[in-house]
Chains A and B, each alone.
Chain A
Amino acid sequence: MACHCNEFSRAHLLREAAAQAGNGLPAIEPGMPVPAGTGLNRRSFLLRSAGAVLAVYGAGRLGVDELSAGIARAQGAEERVLVSVFLEGGADALSVLSPVTNATYKSLRPNLALGEGEGVEFRDDANWHWHPSAAPLDSLHRAGKVSLFPAIGYTDPDQSHFTSRHYWEVGALDPRGRTGWMGRLLDVIGSDDNPLQGLALDGWLSPGLATSSKPVAAIDGTTYDLWAPGVWGDVEALMHDAIGAVGAGHAASQDSGRRRAGTVAAQSARLREQLASFGELEVPASYPDHPFGQELAGLAAMLAVGLPIRCAAVNAAGGYDTHDSQESSFGDDLGTTSQALAAFQADLEARGLADRVVTFVWSEFGRRPEENGSSGTDHGAAGTGLLIGTQVVDQVVGDFADLANLDGDDNLRHTSDFRAVYSSLVEQWFDVDGADVIPDSAQFTHPTLIG
């Protein structure tokens, strides 16, 4: 019931063009890390080749025409792509893959434990079962397309949603980090005029994509109108011009509040003007009918027409902050997410794109092994990570979590570190020195993830 910590509780469906400028993370309170990318300049323009409104961040002085030209120039290069999928709220690793025969597990989870006859046997070890709703992930695993991180995390785990997510986004245990780890990668491999190289699929800039110098973007919806009662024809056209003129005047204001309002009004007028009618994207039936599925379908379609995307970020279906009545939402959310990931992989393969795309699935932490009294679980430490793709080494990285050896907070100890995984991806997928992107890269052994 109380899915309180989740951005998804925002009524997305009512917002035709959801967008929160530069705030991939929630409001900042004193002491809370400032989300990476906060304060990046945001501008919107219509990406005609995709029929979508783009919000562009960090484009400096470049105008819309230059950005369009930059995208066109980079188009069709068939570069490698990384997709980051975030399970928001802290997904329970012990429910994604459960040690069904383990007596400690059964005693820690009297209400939530998966029965020995339930779920889907993990291919490599019958003592572990996938959650029944994760069957599509089992299929991907059996097809040899998954590197599994059964207990991924970091030392001294922080149990605040906001702080822990921040660490993962910036790729370092640094509360003051202001650039995302993919953003820093794009600062190395990206171009100055192609905002699509780092693309958030669900409306706002993902902090992980925040760059220091290169432009990145968020898909910001597909319709935009400004209609006023009792106004039409010539007068309506002049009114639309006037929105832009009033806005542009204030965009240079000395007053920060009016400057912001003026800038946004001018952007809005321009967006409306640029709007042309585009056919709706046809989503193949294999994707679940959920925004997450539609976003992945849209990404596959954009890659198929050669749009120059290098890193994409998207929130998975649902919310995973399951303090109570965990099973009322967890199965549905994980099921939708798993189906969409499998459909995306199949779509990429059918389109001949699969060899240049890998997908990394993560959450800010896992949950406490011992369930609480509300048939839920509190914030924990190590969680589940998945790397999916045809080029991915079929393996389990790090041991499964040991329920007999919990940390001082009674949480799972991690057996792989997200910074090691990021380092491997940077080096093996993008051919960049891990230390150029991940500050603590040298501390870790970098697992071989790409075959």
Chain B
Amino acid sequence: MPVYRGRFGVRQAERLLWRAGFGPRPGQARSLARRGLRHAVYSLTRPHGKARLNGPRPTDGDGNPIAPYDAWGHDVLWWLDRMVRSSQPGLERMALVWHDWFATGDVGSQRFSVNQAKLFRLRGLGSFERLLLDVTTDPAMLIWLSGIYNSKWSPNENYGRELMELFTLGASDDSDYPYSEDDVREQARALTGWRADWRDDVGYTNFRFDRSYHDAATKSIFGRSGNFDWRDSCKLCIKHGAHAPYFVERLWKHFIAEPPDARTKAALIARYRASGHQVRPVVEAILMHPALYEGPSLVKPPIVLIAGLLRARGRGVDTDAWSWVSDLAGMRLFRPPNVSGWDEDHWLDTSTFRGRWVAAGYVTRDEEIATDGYPADEGPREAVNKALHYWAEPSISALTRDELEAFARAVEDAATADWQQGSYRALRQNALRTLIATSPDLQAC
């Protein structure tokens, strides 16, 4: 397995924090760089104990505590807050990967959505089989893909199909590989037996496996026969020859822009299988791979950028606007666009760029610099440095710095009257903050 041997400095640490977390807190990239690549990666993938939450507690726009299970959009605030404050951002980022992977949308209950996210956090770096088993019987998923409607008298194929097509094996081809339509039906039968009760006051409740609802007859899946149940259904997928290649390629795509070369892919597959389908060793191999540090930058998912801007400011979640602002930017948590999740190749267009712009404004807007009394002698370079400091010194390209300084000079040229000298420089500082937060340098890392 190729491992990155180059310099592991602030830039590399910064990239690692954006890819496997939610960007650096002030000074964090520098301190992480001092630990070296291996320990830096482990600090994200091998957290100890319980996560601490650092910083102000989340509130809605009116200063009230959030109500993740009950108030509309507060499910988003709940998770965004964890992304911003958790001392274990690697786990939180893995949970986000699984949310995209098992893309579950609105199930009519924020409690179930939030609990599913907690499951992703709990199982995010362990056995994929364990994760898959738990997801299969997770209430949100049982509602989302009709598991609770799947009984021996009337099989519902929804979960059985997506279990293979989207979660473990990839789409079937003309020659019925990795699975046939018969396999879909037999999987549905194997998965029967889960139920829930509906109560008008609480909604779905009492999720359980009911043997009398399960089809106990013999099924034939992938050419094997047996009295398979939901556990077998998952395990047969994991054991399928198509699973490991699908798994490593899809996981890789969450961290690195260009696909793995053949040698790397084979090594990842071998490592995944040898580990007994553990997630952590594969993620660690990806995070130490040269392609992560030497390859092109990766466009940040919108919610990752938003969390990162808040982290850079040491700011907490203090407005319920984030639910719709993140949607404008193209990534509203708990509302993936469809059952196959978000499209990581198309985060950016003119519409979602505007969403990112609005997001930057929501981070800066309560900290606007007033025009009164602003120093009238601040120079262009000083102004840019100050705005970079505001965002905790992100790395930016020489090109961006040159353009920002050109803007800063143009503002000075426009300030012709005496009264404009201070006030234009104040407006300039406000503008520089937004220009940096929306610059290409901060959209991709």
> Is A2 positioned at the interface, with any CB of B under 8 Å from its CB?
yes
Please determine whether A160 and B397 come into contact, CB atoms closer than 8 angstroms. no
> Is A233 positioned at the interface, with any CB of B under 8 Å from its CB?
yes
> Is A229 positioned at the interface, with any CB of B under 8 Å from its CB?
yes
Tell me the complex Cα distance, A6–B105, Å.
Answer: 10
> Is B441 positioned at the interface, with any CB of A under 8 Å from its CB?
yes
Q: Which residues of A contact B327 (CB under 8 A)?
A: 11, 14-15
Q: Name B181-200 residues within 8 Å CB distance of A.
A: 181, 184-185
Q: Which of B106, B341, B360 has the most CB of A within 10 A?
A: B106
Residue ID in chain A nearest B160 by CB atoms? A378
Please determine whether B407 and A238 come into contact, CB atoms closer than 8 angstroms. yes
Q: Which residues of B contact A163 (CB under 8 A)?
A: 171
Please determine whether A261 and B443 come into contact, CB atoms closer than 8 angstroms. yes
Distance to closest chain A CB from B401 (angstroms) = 10
Q: Which of A6, A30, A371 has the most CB of B within 10 A?
A: A30
Distance to closest chain A CB from B190 (angstroms) = 16
Q: Mark B408-445, 1 if CB is under 8 A from A, else 0.
A: 00110011000000001011101101110011110111
Q: Which residues of B contact A230 (CB under 8 A)?
A: 364-365, 368-369, 426-427, 430-431
Please determine whether A29 and B170 come into contact, CB atoms closer than 8 angstroms. yes
Interface size grouping (class) on chain B: 35 or more
> Is A99 positioned at the interface, with any CB of B under 8 Å from its CB?
no
Please determine whether B343 and A20 come into contact, CB atoms closer than 8 angstroms. yes
Distance to closest chain B CB from A10 (angstroms) = 5
Q: Return the contact of B173 from the options A175, A229, A372 (Cβ within 8 A).
A: A175
Tell me the complex Cα distance, A44–B157, Å.
Answer: 41
Distance to closest chain B CB from A255 (angstroms) = 5
Tell me the complex Cα distance, A33–B165, Å.
Answer: 12
Q: Name B335-353 residues within 8 Å CB distance of A.
A: 335, 337-346, 348-353
Starting from the known contacts A19-B350, A230-B369, 10 additional A-B residue pairs (CB-CB under 8 Å) come to A4-B338, A14-B328, A15-B351, A27-B344, A28-B343, A229-B361, A230-B364, A230-B368, A253-B399, A373-B154
Enumerate chain B interface residues (CB-CB to A < 8 A): 104-108, 143-146, 149-151, 153-158, 161, 165-166, 169-174, 178, 181, 184-185, 245-246, 249-250, 257, 296-299, 324, 327-328, 330, 332, 335, 337-346, 348-355, 357, 360-361, 364-365, 368-369, 397, 399-400, 402-404, 406-407, 410-411, 414-415, 424, 426-428, 430-431, 433-435, 438-441, 443-445
**30 intermolecular pairs with C-beta atoms under 8 Å apart:** A3-B105, A4-B338, A9-B335, A11-B332, A14-B327, A14-B328, A15-B327, A19-B349, A20-B343, A28-B345, A30-B170, A31-B246, A160-B165, A160-B172, A229-B361, A229-B364, A229-B430, A230-B426, A235-B424, A238-B407, A239-B431, A250-B440, A253-B440, A257-B299, A258-B397, A260-B444, A261-B439, A264-B348, A264-B353, A324-B149
**Nearest 7 CB-CB pairings of A with B:** A373-B154, A374-B149, A257-B444, A257-B297, A31-B170, A230-B368, A230-B430
